[in-house]
């Protein structure tokens, strides 16, 4: 059973590029919350404001790189273009949302 669709279609890429970071963020947040309940990350979360949200969201966006690499290996350029578009949108939203934390001297 193949979990990665093998189609060279921009629509498939848009669906993957949109869904994977959202699902990845939910899964990573659930894992982080479970570990936080166990008391594993108390010192890490106390060091920086919005550390958890910032880190988990950029990790979820980076999950698209795994799929981009797979479709690059298959030479499915249309699907890769579809994955890249929502990835750039997510990155722009991430930078805008966390700009005061990332660039404290420019605010």
What confidence score (pLDDT) does residue 3 get? 72
Whether 4 is in a domain gets the answer no
Number of structural domains in the chain: 1
Tell me the mean pLDDT in the region 65-92: 95
Whether 2 is in a domain gets the answer no
pLDDT tens digits for range 4-42:
788 899 999 999 999 999 999 999 999 988 888 887 766
Expressed as residue numbers, the domain containing 91 is 10-101
Element housing 85 (H / E): helix 77-97
Whether 26 is in a domain gets the answer yes
Whether 51 is in a domain gets the answer yes
Whether 79 is in a domain gets the answer yes
Whether 88 is in a domain gets the answer yes
Whether 5 is in a domain gets the answer no
What confidence score (pLDDT) does residue 105 get? 85
What confidence score (pLDDT) does residue 73 get? 93
Tell me the mean pLDDT in the region 78-92: 96
Kindly write down the DSSP assignment for every residue of 10-76, as one continuous string.
Answer: HHHHHHHHHHHHHHHHHHHHHHHHHHHHTTTTHHHHHHSTTHHHHHHHHHHHHHHHHHHHHHHHTT-
Q: What rounded mean pLDDT belongs to the chain?
A: 88
Whether 107 is in a domain gets the answer no
């Amino acid at each position: 059973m193949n979990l990665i669709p093998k189609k060279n279609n921009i629509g498939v890429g848009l669906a993957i590029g949109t869904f994977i970071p959202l699902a990845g963020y939910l899964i990573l947040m659930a894992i982080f919350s479970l570990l936080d309940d166990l008391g594993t990350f108390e010192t890490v979360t106390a060091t920086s404001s919005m550390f958890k949200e910032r880190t988990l969201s950029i990790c979820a966006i980076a999950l698209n790189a795994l799929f981009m690499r797979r479709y690059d290996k298959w030479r499915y350029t249309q699907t890769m273009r579809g994955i890249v578009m929502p990835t750039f949108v997510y990155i722009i939203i991430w930078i805008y949302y966390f700009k005061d934390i990332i660039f404290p001297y420019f605010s």
